[in-house]
Amino acid sequence: MGTHALDRDLGDLAAEARAALVREIGASGAWDADPVWREAFGAVPRHLFVPYYYVGGGPTPSTGAGSPGGNGFERLWGEERDPRRRERWLRGAYTDVPLATRLRDGELISSSSQPSLMANMLTELEVEDGNRVLEIGAGTGYNAALLAYRLGDDRITTIDLDPDITEGARRHLAAAGYHPTVVTGDGARGVPERAPYDRIIATCTLFSIPRAWLAQCAPDARILTPLATGLVRLRVRDAEYAEGRFLHTPAYFVPLRGDGGGPGRMHPHLGGLPHRARDHELFRFLLTLTAGSLDPHEALALWDREEQPTRDRYGITVSGDRAWAWLDDPEGPYAWPLP
């Protein structure tokens, strides 16, 4: 086959591409607070978790899983007969973008999230040696492998609703040499038989905080989950109470299926609002967070009055039967019930 780059051993090419991705993520400072994650991303081969993926069909938001939409998807896979397409597949697996991995009737149902966002989330999870972690949304298994590298197989549990997804995740994990517990079920219910957990991380968007998660947490546990179009980190006091703020980071993920019809909240009604608000990503976050609780025009008045607040000014409190979002202060004047 000659000496062309296309003919190089795929293992060497993968190692080179993985090292480049690690450098790119590291340059953003994603894991300055916990350098062990740099080792994990350098060791876990992402291409084994995306033996095929889809490109095209429309834009995928750069900050998370996104939703490609449209038609014209092209599948790239590792068994391509054309070496040029194999190299394209491999290099694509190590780009810092989300990869669509499963489509159903043209709708994205699973993906491999953007690696730099994954690095940020894992760092913000603040894991410690010996922690037990529950991941909601197994996806390809790549995130579970990173966690298993850090903490060990026996301390990681990952769950997904779709048996095809969990079976695929098990295969990918085994191929990469990792064997955490993979469960098929409704992530909103958690996995009580493996509790208690010191950390819960979700890789799918929620619109409320499942009470089952709090009940399965150890005291002083952390929950990090996408909610609306942001990432909220909660500290769990006990089975009845948790509270925390959103991170500054935007995040767009596939909604958690089985979470009570939340996906419609991702597209709040914008009719009659000025373009300066409709086109502003932070205003759309406020609308998504308060959908059903705050009239869009009231939201606009609040947003203007508070000088276009960033995500990290918002927070979530769960207390007994109540759960609410708030701006600046959980007991302040701006608070909205969550479903």
Residue type, 60: T
According to DSSP, residue 2 is labeled -
According to DSSP, residue 205 is labeled B
Q: Give yes or no for a contact between 317 and 327, defined as CB atoms under 8 angstroms apart.
A: no
Residue type, 325: A
pLDDT attached to residue 265: 56
E strand segments, 72-179: 74-77, 99-104, 107-112, 133-136, 156-160
Q: Give yes or no for a contact between 141 and 250, defined as CB atoms under 8 angstroms apart.
A: no
Q: 154-200: per-residue pLDDT in tens?
A: 999 999 999 999 999 999 999 999 999 999 999 999 999 999 999 99
Q: What is the CA angle 250-254-257, rounded to 5?
A: 135
The 3-state DSSP class for residue 119 equals helix
- Where the chain has pLDDT below 70, the residues are 1-8, 57-72, 258-269
pLDDT attached to residue 72: 67
Q: Give yes or no for a contact between 81 and 67, defined as CB atoms under 8 angstroms apart.
A: no
The 3-state DSSP class for residue 326 equals strand
> Using DSSP, how many helices (H) and how many strands (E) does the chain show?
10, 14
Neighbour-count burial for 250-280, b at 16+ CB within 10 Å, e otherwise = bbbbbbbbebeebeebbebeeeebeeebbee
Neighbour-count burial for 152-180, b at 16+ CB within 10 Å, e otherwise = ebebbbbbbbbeebbebbbbbbeebebeb
> What is the rounded CA–CA span in Å between residue 300 and residue 291?
13
pLDDT attached to residue 143: 97
User: Which of these, 19, 28, 20, 37, lies nearest to 147 by C-alpha position?
Assistant: 37
For the chain, the farthest-separated pair of C-alpha atoms sits apart, in whole angstroms, at: 70
| 202 Cα distance to chain centroid | 6
- 335's CB contacts (< 8 A; 6+ apart) are 324, 325, 326, 327
110 catalytic per annotation = yes
pLDDT attached to residue 261: 43
Contacts 24+ apart (CB under 8 A), 213-221: 213/134, 214/238, 214/239, 214/240, 214/241, 214/242, 214/318, 215/190, 215/239, 216/134, 216/190, 216/191, 216/192, 217/242, 218/132, 221/196, 221/197
Place of tokens 């450098």: 23
Contacts 24+ apart (CB under 8 A), 8-11: 10/86, 10/90
User: Which of these, 107, 30, 22, 35, lies nearest to 73 by C-alpha position?
Assistant: 107
Q: What is the pTM of this model?
A: 0.90
pLDDT attached to residue 254: 84
Catalytic choice (67, 110, 112, 113): 110
